Amino acid sequence: MSLELFLLLAAALFSIGLFGALAQQSVVMLMMGLELMLGGVIVGAAAVWHYIAPDAADGQVLVVLAVTVMAVEMAVGFAVVTALFRAREVDMTDMAAELKE
């Protein structure tokens, strides 16, 4: 185990999540991609804490931040989908594009 290995794992998770967030049409699937990306961020922050600065708690605070962002992202995401679905009966990003008109 080394810092590089952990960071590579984080990068892999981040990239897979990015693929999902970019390629998926459905808003809920897109959010799963975002969750995966944040999972990568968590691994990266924890690894940096362990291998670079374990005496400071800043890395841990970053993990707490990422976990909170995950929760907020999911809650707001589903609330928006619910509102969107009520208004338009759509759940896909492409169809929601007409909202800007």
Partner 1 sequence: MFDDVIFWSLAMLAVAAGVMVFRFDSMARATYALLLSLLCVGGEVLLLGLDYLGVVIVLMMTIEMAIMAVFMVMYMMNPAGLMPMTMIHNKRGAAVICAVVFAALAAGILLTPWPARRGRASADPTMDLGMSLMGPQMLTMMTLGLALFATIVVTVVLATRRGRYDRFGDDLKARTADDPVRGGVGR
Task: Return residues touching partner 1 (CB under 8 A).
Answer: 1, 3-9, 11-20, 22-29, 32-33, 35-36, 39, 42-43, 46-47, 49-58, 60-61, 63-65, 67-68, 70-72, 74-76, 78-83, 85-86, 91-92, 94
Distance (Å, whole) CA 81 – CA 27: 7
Classify residue 52 by its DSSP letter. T
Name residues whose C-beta falls within 8 Å of residue 28's C-beta, 6 or more positions apart in sequence: 77, 78, 81, 91
3-state secondary structure of 26: strand
Closest distance of CB 87 from partner 1, Å? 10
Instruction: Tell me the residue type at 10.
Output: A
If the CB atoms of residues 50 and 100 are measured against partner 1, the closer one turns out to be: 50
Closest distance of CB 101 from partner 1, Å? 20
Task: Give, in order, the Cα–Cα distances in Å from 94 to each of 2, 18, 81.
Answer: 42, 18, 13
Closest distance of CB 67 from partner 1, Å? 6
If the CB atoms of residues 78 and 99 are measured against partner 1, the closer one turns out to be: 78
Closest distance of CB 81 from partner 1, Å? 6
